[in-house]
């Protein structure tokens, strides 16, 4: 049987594309190699009554997407998606007994910063004004096909404001912060937050991240999916199947079938060939373009193979605890979605980033992120107990190998986190799942070497240059009928539901009115 469209990979991006194509009346077959769809939007149950997210857990970049903001796919109104929100997305607790909370409310955040520096409080107020001014521009471009990279750069260079954006894009987070703030605590707080893009704060090409983070965090309450992130995937799957789509799991695509310059189907690892008469949507890593697809011009393949990964991965822990953590700094730190446990010394904070580049994991300078998921969504754990997400940045490779060392490193991260609480130690652990960069690599062919962003989120690989200018419009030169969707395409890593933009491109190419599937464009 021939489908109109075959979708390779059923992560949140490619499933979003599949929903819009099925909504337009096409027969769509989605293939997922894992037993469960979702990619990084999945959950696990490590003990009875505990539901925990192994990757995506605090949602912000997708909240401005019309899929969520305007319920464009009816995920909430028809397919059961529910959210729990927090009014403080991010907090830092320092080992000198101080702390800083970023609230949705701008005034509360300014007061938190004022405890460290009056000058920085004023600077933050100005920075947020700039972020609000830029947010409509950034988010409008975020969920639709990007402007060609050369045209975008020309547009930026045509105005004073545009040149400022370009400077921020090309600079580093550290340069961005050094120019505005004096307090080491304030700089560490925002450096760590921006570092969640999996690129060190001193890395060029990261400066624009803070404009987007601050604009979104003061516009939306950070969301957590009720019942686990898997319920976002399940809502997408329900939408897809409601519109006639078919999802098959445990199906591994070995290569894409190209005939006479057109992608006409896929070949599975068992040799079976499935055909599509209108096109194929592929969530494949740029590094695999030359091996999975024939007929792509060699310069395009070479540029795709040269795409760089993020600077580090993550060691994730899902922990079932006998009780919720109580931070020594007080109950207000149980409210934010994400709490970072950090050293207040700048050198202790920055040195691990340098070590990751050498494939080293310093255990004496850690900075784990904690999300007590059951504080936000009580359904995640039995009464009186807690479901905790704990992770620390980690190099992709480590001496001795991750499989041999992840327990040792996981214990060190847990003990560091526990030292910031008054009630947690290893005796409170009911169950624990530790996953290293090697585990992430095995889970997803997109998370190469454990890169949870797919590829680096730097200016040279964003917008109309993600993953390369050749491939940024979701099409592949030299191969008709092949489209790209996934975190290695615009808008990038984190959960964006960015496959919406791939669907817009396909509607346009196929002559389908956008009004057929979209309510906002």
| Whether residue 49 has pLDDT greater than 80 | yes
Copy the structure tokens of residue 257. Answer: 């079938």
DSSP assignment of 439-476, as one string?
A: HHHHH-SSSGGG-TTSS--SGGGSGGGSS-TTTTTSEE
Q: What is the pLDDT of residues 395-426, one digit of tens each?
A: 999 999 999 999 999 999 999 999 999 999 99
3-41+56-81+225-308+449-516 in CATH: which number?
Answer: 3.50.50.60
Q: How confident is the model at residue 150 (pLDDT cuts 50, 70, 90)?
A: confident
Q: What is the pLDDT of residues 339-393, one digit of tens each?
A: 999 999 999 999 999 999 999 999 999 999 999 999 999 999 999 999 999 999 9
- Name the nearest CA neighbour of 370 among 326, 429, 435, 403: 326
- Average pLDDT for 49-53: 97
The pLDDT, as a whole number, for residue 163 is 81
Quote the CA–CA distance of 438 and 30 in Å, as a whole number.
Answer: 26
The pLDDT, as a whole number, for residue 492 is 92
Q: How confident is the model at residue 1 (pLDDT cuts 50, 70, 90)?
A: confident
Q: What is the pLDDT of residues 277-313, one digit of tens each?
A: 999 999 999 999 999 999 999 999 999 999 999 999 9
CA angle 182, 187, 188 (to 5 degrees): 140
Q: What is the pLDDT of residues 324-334, one digit of tens each?
A: 999 999 999 99
The pLDDT, as a whole number, for residue 13 is 97
Q: What is the pLDDT of residues 54-71, one digit of tens each?
A: 999 999 999 999 999 999
Q: What is the pLDDT of residues 206-236, one digit of tens each?
A: 888 888 889 999 999 999 999 999 999 999 9
- Average pLDDT for 478-487: 97
The pLDDT, as a whole number, for residue 138 is 72
Copy the structure tokens of residue 106. Answer: 């701008």
Q: What is the pLDDT of residues 84-118, one digit of tens each?
A: 999 999 999 999 999 999 999 999 999 999 999 99
For the chain, percent of residues with pLDDT exceeding 70 = 100
Specify the higher pLDDT residue, 130 or 77: 77
Residue 362 near residue 416 (C-beta atoms within 8 A): no
Q: State the greatest distance between any 2 C-alpha atoms of the chain, in Å, as a whole number.
A: 68
First to last CA, the chain: 34
| Residue boundaries of the structural domains of the chain | 3-41+56-81+225-308+449-516
- Average pLDDT for 39-48: 97
- 452 class by beta-carbon count within 10 Å (0-12 exposed, 13-18 middle, 19+ buried): buried
DSSP assignment of 326-393, as one string?
A: -BTT-GGGGSSSEEEEE-SSHHHHHHHHHHHHTT---SSS---EEEEHHHH-GGGS-TT-EEEEEEEE
Q: Which residues contact 452 (CB under 8 A, 6 or more apart)?
A: 40, 55, 198, 310, 313, 314, 440, 493
What value does the mean pLDDT of the chain take? 95
Q: Which residues contact 32 (CB under 8 A, 6 or more apart)?
A: 9, 10, 247, 248, 249, 250, 251
Q: What is the pTM of this model?
A: 0.95
């Amino acid at each position: 049987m021939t489908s109109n469209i075959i979708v390779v990979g059923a992560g949140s991006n490619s499933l979003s594309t599949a929903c819009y194509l099925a909504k337009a009346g096409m027969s769509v077959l989605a293939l997922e190699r894992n037993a469960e769809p979702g990619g990084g939007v999945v959950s696990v149950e490590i003990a009875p009554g505990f539901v925990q997210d192994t990757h995506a857990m605090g949602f912000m970049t997708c909240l401005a997407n019309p899929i969520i903001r305007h319920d464009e796919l009816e995920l909430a109104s028809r397919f059961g998606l529910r959210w729990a929100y927090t009014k403080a997305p991010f907090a830092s607790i320092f080992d000198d007994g101080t702390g800083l909370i970023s609230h949705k409310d701008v005034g509360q955040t300014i007061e938190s910063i004022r405890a460290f520096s009056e000058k920085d409080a004023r600077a933050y107020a100005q920075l947020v004004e700039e972020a609000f001014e830029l947010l409509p521009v950034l988010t409008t471009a975020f969920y639709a096909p990007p402007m060609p990279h050369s045209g975008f750069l020309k547009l930026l260079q045509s105005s004073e404001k545009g040149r400022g954006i370009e400077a921020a894009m090309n600079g580093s987070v550290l340069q961005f912060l050094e120019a505005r703030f004096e307090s080491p605590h304030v700089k560490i707080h925002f450096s760590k937050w921006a570092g969640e893009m999996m690129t060190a704060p001193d890395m060029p090409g990261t400066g624009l991240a803070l404009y987007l983070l601050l604009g979104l965090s003061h516009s939306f309450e950070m969301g957590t999916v009720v019942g686990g992130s898997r319920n976002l995937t399940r809502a997408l799957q329900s939408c897809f199947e409601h519109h006639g789509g078919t999802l098959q799991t445990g199906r591994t695509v070995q290569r894409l079938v190209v005939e006479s310059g057109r992608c006409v189907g896929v070949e599975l690892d068992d040799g079976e060939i499935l055909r599509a008469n209108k096109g194929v949507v592929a969530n494949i890593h740029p590094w695999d373009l030359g091996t999975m697809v024939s007929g792509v011009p060699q310069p395009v393949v070479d540029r795709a193979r040269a795409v760089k990964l993020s600077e580090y991965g993550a060691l994730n822990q899902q922990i079932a605890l006998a009780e919720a953590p109580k931070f020594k700094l007080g109950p207000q730190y149980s409210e934010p979605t994400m709490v970072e446990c950090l050293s207040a010394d700048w050198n202790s904070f920055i040195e691990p980033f340098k070590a990751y580049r050498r494939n080293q994991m310093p255990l004496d300078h850690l900075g784990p992120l904690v999300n007590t998921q059951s504080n936000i969504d009580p359904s995640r754990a039995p009464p009186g107990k807690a479901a905790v997400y704990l992770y620390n940045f980690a190099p992709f490779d480590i001496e001795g190998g991750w499989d041999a060392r992840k327990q040792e490193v996981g214990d060190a991260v847990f003990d560091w986190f526990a030292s910031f609480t008054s009630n947690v130690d290893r005796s409170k652990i009911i169950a624990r799942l530790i996953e290293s960069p090697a585990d992430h690599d095995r889970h997803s062919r997109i998370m190469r070497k454990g890169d949870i962003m797919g590829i680096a989120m730097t200016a040279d690989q964003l917008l109309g240059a993600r993953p390369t200018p050749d491939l940024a419009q979701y099409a592949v030169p030299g191969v008709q009928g092949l489209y790209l969707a996934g975190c290695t395409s615009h808008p990038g890593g984190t959960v964006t539901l960015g496959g919406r933009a791939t669907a817009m491109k396909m509607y346009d190419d196929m002559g389908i009115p956008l009004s057929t599937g979209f309510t906002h464009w």
